[in-house]
Amino acid sequence: MGYENVIFEVKENVGILTINRPKVLNALNPATLEEIEDVVDRLSSGEEAKVLIITGAGDKAFVAGADISEFPKMNSLQARIFAQKGQAIFFKIENLPIPVIACVNGYALGGGCELAMSCDFIYASEKARFGQPEINLGIIPGFGGTQRLARLVGRAKAKELCMTGVQLTAMEARELGLVAQVFPPEELMEKTLEVARGLAQKSLVALRAIKEVINKGLEVDLYTGCALEAEAFATSFSSVDAREGAMAFLEKRKPTFKGTLTQ
Residues annotated as catalytic (active site), given as ranges? 114, 134
Query: β-strand 100-104 against 61-63: which pairing, if any?
Result: unpaired
Closest CA to 82 of 41, 33, 49: 33
| H or E element at residue 247 | helix 240-250
Which region, left, alpha or beta, applies to residue 102 given φ > 0 means left and ψ of -120 to 50 means alpha? beta
Cα dihedral 20→82→122→1 (10° resolution):
-40
Whole-Å CA distances, 20 to 3, 58, 126, 198, 227: 10, 8, 21, 26, 42
Cβ atoms < 10 Å from Cβ of 77: 8
Q: Rounded to the nearest 5°, which phi and psi values hold at 88?
A: -60, -40
Angle, CA of 53, 59 and 63, to the nearest 5°? 55
**What does the alpha-carbon distance between residue 71 and residue 59 come to, in Å, rounded to a whole number?**
26
Say if residues 170 and 125 touch (Cβ distance below 8 Å): yes
Contacts of 8 (CB under 8 A, 6+ apart): 15, 16, 17, 18, 39
| H or E element at residue 224 | helix 222-236
